Amino acid sequence: MSDSLTRNVARSRFGAALAFVLVSTAAWAERVYEPQDPPRELTPEQAARAAENYRQYCVLCHGENREGYANDHAPSLRSASLFESGVPHAILRPLSYGREGTAMGGYLDEIGGPMTLDEVWDLTYWLFWESGAERVRLSEAPVSGDIERGRQVYLDNCAACHGEQGEGVNAPALANPSALAHNKDEFIRYAIEKGRQGTPMAPFSGTLSEADIDNVTAYIRSLAGEEVIGKVELRSLPEPEDYVINPGAPDPEFALKDDRYVLAADLNEAMVSGKRLVLLDTRVVSVWQRAHLAGSVPFPYYSDLEEKVGHLPKDVQIVAYCSCPRAASDYVIDRLGELGFHRTAVLYEGIFGWMNQGFPVVRADVAETRGSE
């Protein structure tokens, strides 16, 4: 081979190698996100009230220090990547309206929750400032990708925690309709790329290519159907004289699991046979408005129990339930025990387990419209 030809071959090989490196580097490089101005700061009074609202309404599931996973796989509320990309709406909307089909109820007063719109906004911003995050600007554009490739990457890397169908196992459900309606593609993508600090959700930047992060995002987005939005017609809450179901009948005699828990089948049998009961729905009232066991009394875990117990009889079987499936109801029954109520039980499966076994609930009157954001 001539010297000239040798040099040309060498140059060609070097050029190919350089092109490969450049393409590979581009495929694995992280996106650059522009900073975004921080949201408004809170006054000392607003911050104090927001901190108190967090303590009253959120600690049970999200933890004293916002670390998450205290109950029902409730996510961390201090991960920087969440607040970098998610303030305000990715935080405000679930806090206001809940996550349909999960234990996260809505806390906005217009749907039956305990907080005003101003209080929900202040809690959203309080969580942001507590996180120490700096906001980034995300695109409103959809993320394009190969959905079938994304499904395979998802099954290989995400399904163990989030479920094969995005239903959630020990991490949030990614196929939740309200979450997919409220969260833009770039928010989902940012979580995959950056992870969630302080949780088992590791960043996939450097593990997955940029293209595969897009592919997984596109696959998760594909799990969304046409969202059904229901406006609940709020019903009147039961009066104290209505708290006891079948007041003239005998109490049930439950065989309690671990001296506390009644199984759904046994509770259903007691209700069908007309036994005397008090049923306490310990969830946020907005979800009682959507669906509840017939005759149940809204008795949310964050209530001033000392004030409410004056309406409860101590000689009637009380059964509490929630959707965690037991965290809120366990908490309420423990508190009732301290106040001298001992004829008590907790629905073991919670209301979701109750419904999954085919037992009936009273559902709200809902005006349904279809739409998406």
Residue 299 has pLDDT above 70, yes or no: yes
Mean pLDDT of the chain, nearest integer:
89
Q: What is the pTM of this model?
A: 0.83
Residue 30 confidence (pLDDT): 66
As a whole number, mean pLDDT of residues 123-132 equals: 97
Spatial neighbors of 144 by CB under 8 A, at least 6 apart, are 214, 218
Residue 254 has pLDDT above 90, yes or no: yes
- pLDDT for position 2: 43
Model confidence at 251, pLDDT cuts 50, 70, 90, reads very high
Average pLDDT over residues 361-366: 82
Maximum Cα–Cα distance across the chain:
108
pLDDT tens-digit series, residues 140-177: 999 999 999 999 999 999 999 999 999 988 888 999 98
What does the pLDDT read at residue 370? 40
Neighbour-count burial of 343, counting CB atoms closer than 10 A to its CB (0-12 exposed, 13-18 middle, 19+ buried): middle
* Residue 41 confidence class, pLDDT cut points 50, 70, 90: very high
pLDDT for 229: 55
Q: Is 44-225's fold the same as 240-370's? A: no
Helices (H), 223-296: 264-272, 285-290
Residue 72 is predicted with a pLDDT of: 78
pLDDT digits (tens, 9 = 90+) for 84-120: 999 999 999 999 999 988 889 999 999 999 999 999 9
Least confident among 101-115, 222-236, 278-292, 297-311: 222-236
DSSP state of 310: G
Distance CA(73)–CA(170), nearest Å, equals 6
Phi, psi of 298 (to 5 degrees): -60, 120
- Pairwise CA distance, residues 106 & 208, whole Å: 35
Whether the predicted pLDDT of 124 surpasses 50? yes
Domain 44-225, classified CATH 1.10.760.10, yes or no: yes
Record: fold of 240-370 = Oxidized Rhodanese; domain 1 (3.40.250)
* Percent of the chain clearing pLDDT 70 (strictly above): 88
Question: Cα dihedral angle (200, 204, 207, 211), rounded to 10 degrees?
Answer: 150
Q: Where are the domains of the chain?
A: 44-225, 240-370
